[in-house]
Amino acid sequence: MHELAPPLTLEQGLRWLDLIGILAFAMSGALLGVRKRFDLFGVVVLGCVTAVGGGAIRDTLTGQTPPLFLRDETYLWMALLGAGLGFALGEGLARFERTLSVFDTVGLALFAASGAVGAINFGLGPLGVVFAGMLSGVGGGIVRDLIANEVPEVMYRRDQLYATAAAAGALVVVLLHPHVTSFQAQLGGALTIVALRWLSRRGWVSLPVRRVPGARD
């Protein structure tokens, strides 16, 4: 008898997308490290921290220690691979910036949505879920920018929704969760984030900035 390989389940599919997000985040961190002229070690650490930082903050805050990336080593290996690729390609990565940006959005969407579902299962209230989901998506990038001694990019790039998209996606998870399965809620949240990112890149949605007299752009 011929044994068919079992088809990829949805959960396995999500995990693969998750790992692709890790890879993309690690490359984005490594690229910043190369630009800052960090050595091999610095580049690799910055890449890994970008990739696993958001999840680490989320897991530590919700008491799920050790965080996932220390329990399932696939994450750390994937982060190392992405950071190593980033160092090897160096500035050459910039040519793939569009592709990286798509990966980055996928990572943001999946991390934020899965972080929100995790926080609901953990028993947090709605605001806590939005906070934890958003942090899962953007925490790694914030840690990356802090270490590189820059103001975190998510704080001011008002031309594009980023953390706001993550928060909105987590909110969609909160609203959908009582009515559908966890998986469907997660998917709805992730798609919301991808859609908002796409709309904001087209310039159709944006965030206000407070005018400060005398300040310049």
The backbone region for 39, taken as left when phi is positive above 0, alpha when psi lies in -120 to 50, beta otherwise, is beta
Q: How far is CA 151 from CA 22, 59, 78, 143, in A?
A: 22, 24, 27, 10
Residue 213 C-beta: closest distance to its own copies, Å: 7
Q: Give 87 or 187: the residue with its C-beta nearer to its own copies.
A: 87
Residue 19 C-beta: closest distance to its own copies, Å: 15
Burial of 65 (0-12, 13-18, 19+ CB in 10 A): exposed
Which residues make up the interface to its own copies (CB under 8 A)?
Answer: 33-43, 45-46, 48, 56, 60-63, 65-67, 70, 73, 76-77, 80, 87, 90-91, 122, 124-128, 131-132, 142, 146-152, 154-158, 163-164, 167, 207-213, 215, 217
Q: Give 2 or 37: the residue with its C-beta nearer to its own copies.
A: 37
Question: Which one-letter DSSP state was computed for residue 208?
Answer: -
Enter the tokens of residue 13.
Answer: 């599919």
Q: Give 6 or 203: the residue with its C-beta nearer to its own copies.
A: 203
Residue 96 C-beta: closest distance to its own copies, Å: 16
Dihedral sign for Cα 175, 12, 133, 152, please. negative
Q: Give 102 or 155: the residue with its C-beta nearer to its own copies.
A: 155
